[in-house]
Amino acid sequence: MSVQPASPRQLRLGLFVQALGHHVGGWRAEGAKGSPTDIDWFTWIAKKAEEGKFDMFFVGDALATSVHRLPSTMSRLEPLTLLSALAVQTKHIGLAATASTTFDEPFHLARALCSVDHISRGRGAWNVVTSFSLDAARNFSREDLPSHADRYEMAREFLDVAFKLWDGWEEGAIVREKDTGRYSDESKIHPANHKGKHFQVQGPLNIARSPQGRPVIIEAGSSPAGQQLAAQTAEVVFTAASSLEEGQAFYQSQKQFVRDAGRQPDHLLILPGVMPIVGRTREEAQEVWNQLNELVDIDNGIEQLSARFGVDMTAYPLDGPVPEIPATEGSQSRVKLLTELAARENLTLRQLAAVAAGSRGHRVVVGTAEDIADDFQHWLEQGGADGFNIMPAVLPDQLELFVELVIPELQRRGLFRTDYQYSTLRENLGLPSVDENFAAVAPLATEKE
């Protein structure tokens, strides 16, 4: 195949890490390795991703567990603790983790994230989420959850407090004048003095300004409230789209939200999740995919759908159509994606359960390095994405093949970096400084009446 013309832009690639692979049956595949609580395993994954010049290593989180969860997520390390350990084992790759605004306090989380940014010398990122699990609520002494709208209102105020705390330390606040004994310039350290509906925080933060000023902010909500929050506060958006048309529609919608917020649309990057199944031939890749699908536990898939939809799906016939169930106050965007996928592909409940269990609704691309590069290039050039969040189905094999085969093909086309150029994650993502990115966004008015 001849080399296609290089795109004017380059892809941004995150590695979405599940310790045992993203496919629900990936841990059972031949050659699969790893442990969700083994720091040496995570270190290997991070270093392999850094070898492939990935922009970031990303680990998700949840604040509750059960025997029905994926093996990767039933028992797992606390994300910020994990990132701190990886920060001293890597040099270039960004380090991102999920943390909830529903069950934490702004001062505590802002301090922890600023610490990760210092330890990594400017490679930290925070995936901001609002929690929708009743099990999580009950782990934090609560019997119910705020509504979807209230959770996003809390998240906006939480972020506003975190921004005030991070920005409360100006550059050059630590002066270290040994001859005068003056250690800091108090004119450059400011309290937050935040008094809002949900939070009252005095400040200042008890840690100095970090290399990036703030960690890179990532969000993933695809509801209108989520898109609005991202337009005002995020620099990267994770999403899920099962077709280019869906990807283009979300891309255009989110970029318009960004324009409406007064920001430049290219100052927010959109990275859909994708599960590439890489083979040295198409036949090899298809065989890997077929074998993985044979390992899907349909009962587990139905359990996942039930949790996602908030309805007991065992009440419906497996080989009948997917029932029409409206999205609840939970994960609205993923329910919508799965419902639309079932309607478009005319899937039975059994088939949707297999898809949901296998890739959790994310897009799957099966083929050679050239096939996958063709797909990524097409999405980039057709306005479906700024890059992708890569979800290896099986570890270590699929990550090794992606780094060994797909990355060089993307580099050959001029679609991806051949080396890291900068020291911070924000710079390597091509994002401007914090001040430039958010200069036009008015702070939230949260002062109590």
Task: Please state the residue numbers annotated as binding site.
Answer: 61, 98, 148, 152, 222-223
| Token couple for 187 | 């004119």
The answer to whether the bond into 204 is cis (omega within 30° of 0) is: yes
> Which residues are documented as binding site for FMN?
61, 98, 148, 152, 222-223
Cα–Cα distance list, 340 to 43, 134, 194, 312, 337 (Å): 38, 26, 42, 19, 5
Selection from 10, 55, 127 nearest residue 386 by Cα: 10
DSSP 86-121: HHTT-SSSEEEEEEESSSS-HHHHHHHHHHHHHHTT
Selection from 355, 385, 184, 187 nearest residue 268 by Cα: 385
Q: How far apart are CA 353 and CA 304, in angstroms?
A: 8
- Phi first, then psi: give them for residue 60, nearest 5 degrees: -85, -175
Q: How far apart are CA 361 and CA 344, in angstroms?
A: 13
Instruction: Specify the pairing of strand 387-390 against strand 124-129.
Output: unpaired
The sign of the torsion formed by the CA atoms of 116, 120, 121, 127 equals negative
Selection from 45, 338, 142 nearest residue 36 by Cα: 45
Angle at 220 between CA 232 and CA 115, to 5 degrees: 75
Task: State the number of CA atoms in the 13 A half-sphere of 293 facing the CB.
Answer: 16
| Token couple for 335 | 């329910």
- In angstroms, how far is the first alpha carbon of the chain from the final one? 66
Q: How far apart are CA 404 and CA 416, in angstroms?
A: 14
Selection from 23, 7, 13 nearest residue 393 by Cα: 23
Q: How far apart are CA 284 and CA 294, in angstroms?
A: 16
Residue bearing tokens 């890739």: 359
Q: How far apart are CA 254 and CA 9, in angstroms?
A: 19
Let me know: does 115 contact 171? Beta carbons within 8 Å: no
Let me know: does 192 contact 164? Beta carbons within 8 Å: yes
Q: How far apart are CA 16 and CA 30, in angstroms?
A: 21
Q: How far apart are CA 426 and CA 433, in angstroms?
A: 8
